[in-house]
Structure 1
Amino acid sequence: MTDQTPPAAPRGAEPGSSVLDRWVDALEVELGLPPRSVDVGAVLDLARDAAHQVARPAAPVTAYAAGYAAGLAAARGEASDALDRASSSALAWRDPGPGAAGGSGSAAGS
């Protein structure tokens, strides 16, 4: 059986769309992603959490790392909760200071 769901209309085609909507539509095309595959709200929330809780430059780096993890999961045919996990890590971040070993300041493997 084939999927009869019509393709999603680009965000930028909707009345009231923004420059960001049109940019993400163009970026999805350029990168060969399905239309509306980028959850703009979730990415912006993640970037906000990283920027405010960790440091401003952490926003793009965290978004990239979460996207990379999600892509690896997709390549394995698995679902990914990378955005949620990265956001939770950013919100829980407590900088252990220079020279301290480890990651987010929370228990490893949690």
Structure 2
Amino acid sequence: MTDQTPTPSAPGTSVLDRWVAALEAELSLPPGTVDIGAVLDLARDAAHQVARPAAPVSTYVAGYAAGLAAARGESSDAVERAAAAALAWRDAGPAGQA
């Protein structure tokens, strides 16, 4: 997590913590599967560096990639790689023209 991401005083105390725990249970994920800070950091980086609508799309794509890796029994750094890609993004415009 970066210094810019707010952290609750204790795990499970914020509405977001409880929501993510409920989603993990609903989707049959082990508790603690979701790194909330990393996902929020990715969303922030994509929204600020790329475009606001890139935030939910980027987090979905990174989660999808992480899920595919998990299905293969592999670990994944998809969220971190997506955040790095967002931070490095330089839009060349339509058809690669500036």
Query: TM-score, length-normalised on structure 1?
Result: 0.76
Q: Which has the higher contact order (CA 8 A, sep 6+)?
A: 2
The 1-side partners of 2:18 and 2:75 are apart by 27
The structure 1 residue matched to 2:74, chosen from 67, 74, 78, is: 78
- Percent sequence identity is 76
Say whether residues 1:42 and 2:58 are aligned partners.
Answer: no
- Match of 2:4? none
- The alignment's C-alpha RMSD in Å is 1.2
How far 1:99 sits from its partner (Å)? 1.9
Gaps of 5+ in 1: 1-10, 102-110
One-letter code aligned to 2:86: A
The 2-side partners of 1:25 and 1:83 are apart by 19
The 2-side partners of 1:78 and 1:37 are apart by 14
The 1-side partners of 2:21 and 2:79 are apart by 20
- Match of 1:58? 54
Gaps of 5+ in 2: 1-10
- Match of 1:88? 84
Say whether residues 1:25 and 2:21 are aligned partners.
Answer: yes
The 2-side partners of 1:89 and 1:58 are apart by 12
How far 1:100 sits from its partner (Å)? 2.1
- Count how many residue pairs are aligned between Structure 1 and Structure 2: 87
